[in-house]
């Protein structure tokens, strides 16, 4: 990019480097990001429907159900980490990472 500074006849060249994301950054609209969001959506639906039902009407649960719920809770913790390492699009359609 060539610029003339105010009051100067000298031409100044500025070079802008393109930022490269770290290799662990998850870019938006990739297969990994889309699949992860769909899985999280189904887990949220499960949590929003089954947990209130279980709390209200089921007294004892099996070890299998407890392990499944522990696994789901751990996926929600991984979702928190995924949100910290995910890039996003701002209002001008620029990808921020």
pLDDT tens digits along 2-33 = 455 555 556 555 555 577 777 888 888 889 89
pLDDT of residue 12: 52
In a domain, 49, yes or no: yes
Average pLDDT, the chain: 83
Give how many domains the chain has, as a whole number. Answer: 1
d(CA 69, CA 51): 9
Does residue 63 have a pLDDT over 70?
Answer: yes
91 or 43, higher pLDDT: 43
In a domain, 11, yes or no: no
pTM, entire model: 0.69
d(CA 82, CA 71): 16
In a domain, 6, yes or no: no
In a domain, 69, yes or no: yes
Range of the domain at 27: 19-96
In a domain, 29, yes or no: yes
């Amino acid at each position: 990019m060539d610029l003339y500074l105010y009051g100067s006849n000298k031409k100044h060249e500025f070079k802008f480097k393109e930022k490269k994301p770290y290799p662990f950054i998850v870019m938006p609209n990739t297969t990994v990001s889309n699949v992860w969001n769909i899985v999280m959506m189904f887990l949220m639906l499960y949590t929003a429907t089954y947990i209130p039902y279980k709390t209200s009407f089921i007294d004892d649960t099996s070890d299998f159900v407890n392990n499944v719920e522990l696994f789901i809770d751990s996926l929600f913790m991984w979702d928190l980490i995924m949100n910290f390492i995910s890039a996003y699009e701002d209002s001008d359609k620029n990808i921020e990472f």
